[in-house]
């Protein structure tokens, strides 16, 4: 797809479809680009947030990642400078209206290609979600973004994955052939008519995990009428990172890339080969969301370190603590799969102490445990909550 074709699509159907007035009643959140999650995977949970975060949202669309990052940093009272970059002026106008309604400052809006990211950098952080797989040369995009990073910076990326999008690519090819040369609105009209006549047994119609086509014209067009769309396996994604001079640093739900619940006590390959095995066995991944750092610069999360500050995501600490005290379990349902983690009931007092400000030393002291006893219990908490993406380490809220 040429740059002009991409612009024509997103001028006609800005994606994702958003009404700026909705900013008055909700904040859309998700991975990557949650500040505490970024800190956990990119900076060892120890970033100095008193220093401004210079960030790029590359291919920012209608603004989900931009608004999330700017609003969360604003709420935390942390300084930032964010550059929004996208080809579509229609998408940019929606993102600008969303930011204006929220009275967000510190944002520079630029209409242009992410291939020119280096002209605007360097950056501490780059978000690029749902864009690289739409480039004629995705590797050029990976390379351009890597070149716009500071040496100690990091990226949060999302690309499509093949297995969970079964049925999508044959339809894209069919519509591309049947509707070539039509303007976007005419293509959409004819594609919808064809889609309604598809047999119920079509692999796409049997795929209940893909629903964008049910969420409006922009979703239908982006999913089924995009003429440049290539998915990545986790192996292909890490290879692209490597070619760009980047290392894989982590993923929001690492437990999904662990095949051992499915393979039992079998010997497993290591590293990316193990992750690929999990992807192939589960067969449900629609996307891969990963964090990356320049080669040789990956900093592991500070698990178990006394000065690490834990945050819970998506649940109140008192609610999780009460459940653990009652059941001795943490149960996670995600991606159509259930995970059960056994956690000592005495962990409840530790979980209740998580407030995003107290570090592990303070939480241990508050529970009256010695270092050895604390370490044994807390390791089980981390195995459940960090693996599921429910807990991250960050100093976002500390002085």
Q: Is the four-CA dihedral 36, 352, 364, 339 of positive or negative sign? A: negative
Domain boundary among 178, 195, 224: 224
Nearest partner of 71 among 29, 17, 108, judged by Cα: 29
| pLDDT at residue number 110 | 98
| ∠ CA 138-99-49, rounded to 5° | 75
Q: Who's near 228: CB < 8 A, 6+ residues apart?
A: 1, 5, 6, 134, 135, 136
pLDDT tens-place values along the chain, 399 residues long: 456 677 889 999 999 999 999 999 999 999 999 999 999 999 999 999 999 999 999 999 999 999 999 999 999 999 999 999 999 999 999 999 999 999 999 999 999 999 999 999 999 999 999 999 999 999 999 999 999 999 999 999 999 999 999 999 999 999 999 999 999 999 999 999 999 999 999 999 999 999 999 999 999 999 999 988 999 999 999 999 999 999 999 999 999 999 999 999 999 999 999 999 999 999 999 999 999 999 999 999 999 999 999 999 988 999 999 999 999 999 888 877 889 999 999 999 999 999 999 999 999 999 999 999 999 999 999 999 999 999 999 999 997
End-to-end CA distance of the chain: 48
Please count the structural domains in the chain.
Answer: 3
Residues contacting residue 271 through CB under 8 Å, at least 6 positions apart: none
Query: How much is the pLDDT for 5?
Result: 73
Both tokens of residue 26? 């909700």
- 239 and 219 assigned to the same domain: no
Helix 271-282 / helix 234-243 crossing angle, nearest 10 deg: 140
- Does residue 288 fall inside a structural domain? yes
Whether the Cβ atoms of residue 81 and residue 54 lie closer than 8 Å to each other: yes
Q: Tokens at residue 286, please?
A: 């629609």
User: The domain containing residue 185 runs over which residues?
Assistant: 170-224
Compute the distance between CA of residue 47 and CA of residue 53 in angstroms, rounded to an integer: 10
Same domain, 279 and 209: no
Q: What is the pLDDT of residue 3?
A: 61
Q: Does some domain include residue 148?
A: yes
Whether 153 and 264 map to the same domain: the answer is: yes
351 and 319 assigned to the same domain: yes
Query: Has residue 399 been placed in a domain?
Result: no
For residues 210 and 191, state if they share a domain. yes
The count of other CB atoms within 10 Å of the CB of residue 26 is 7
Judge whether 302 lies within some domain.
no
Tokens, residue 207: 């795929």
Tell whether 367 is covered by a domain. yes
Q: Are residues 33 and 129 in the same domain?
A: yes
Identify whether 336 is part of a domain: yes
Same-domain pairing of 134 and 236: yes
- CA 234 – CA 290 distance, rounded (Å): 9
Q: Are residues 194 and 327 in the same domain?
A: no
Do 111 and 24 share a structural domain? yes
59 and 124 inside one domain:
yes
Do 102 and 32 lie in a common domain? Answer: yes
> Domain ends where: 224, 247, 262?
224
Determine, yes or no, domain membership for 305. no
Q: Is residue 184 part of a domain?
A: yes
Q: Could you give the CA distance from residue 98 to residue 83 in angstroms, rounded to a whole number?
A: 15
Q: Are residues 112 and 142 in the same domain?
A: yes
Domain boundary among 202, 224, 246: 224
């Amino acid at each position: 797809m040429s740059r002009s074709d991409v612009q024509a699509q997103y001028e006609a159907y800005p994606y994702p479809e958003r009404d700026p007035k909705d900013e008055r009643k909700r904040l859309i959140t998700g991975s990557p680009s949650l500040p505490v999650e970024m800190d956990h995977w990119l900076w060892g949970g120890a970033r100095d947030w008193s220093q401004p975060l210079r960030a790029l949202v590359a291919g920012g669309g209608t603004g989900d990642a931009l608004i999330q990052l700017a609003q969360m940093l604003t709420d935390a009272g942390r300084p930032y400078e964010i550059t929004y970059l996208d080809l579509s002026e229609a998408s940019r106008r929606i993102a600008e209206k969303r930011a204006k309604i929220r009275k967000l400052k510190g944002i520079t809006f630029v209409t242009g290609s992410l291939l020119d990211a280096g002209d605007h950098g360097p950056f501490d952080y780059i978000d690029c979600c749902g864009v690289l797989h739409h480039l004629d040369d995705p590797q050029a995009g990976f390379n351009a973004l890597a070149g716009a990073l500071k040496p100690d910076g990091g990226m949060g990326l999302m690309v499509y994955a093949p297995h969970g999008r079964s049925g999508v690519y044959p339809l894209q090819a069919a519509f591309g052939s049947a509707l070539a040369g039509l303007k976007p609105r005419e293509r959409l009209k004819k594609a919808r008519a064809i889609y309604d006549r598809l047999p119920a047994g079509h692999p796409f119609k049997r795929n209940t995990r893909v629903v964008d086509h049910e969420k409006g014209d922009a979703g239908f067009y982006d999913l089924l009428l995009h003429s440049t769309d290539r998915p990545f396996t986790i192996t292909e994604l890490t290879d692209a990172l490597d070619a760009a001079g980047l290392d894989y640093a982590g993923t929001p739900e690492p437990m999904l890339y662990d095949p051992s619940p499915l393979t039992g006590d079998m010997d497993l390959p290591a590293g990316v080969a193990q992750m690929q095995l999990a992807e192939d066995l589960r067969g449900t991944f629609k996307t891969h969301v990963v964090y990356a750092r320049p080669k040789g610069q990956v900093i592991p999360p500070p698990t178990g370190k006394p000065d690490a500050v834990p945050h819970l995501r998506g649940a109140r600490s008192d609610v999780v603590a009460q459940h653990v005290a009652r059941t001795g379990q943490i149960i996670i349902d995600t991606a159509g799969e259930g995970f059960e983690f056994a956690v000592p009931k005495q962990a409840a007092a530790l979980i209740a102490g998580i407030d995003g400000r107290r570090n592990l030393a303070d939480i241990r002291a508050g529970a009256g445990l010695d270092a050895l006893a604390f370490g044994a219990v807390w390791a089980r908490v981390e195995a459940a909550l960090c693996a599921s993406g429910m807990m991250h380490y960050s100093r976002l809220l500390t002085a």
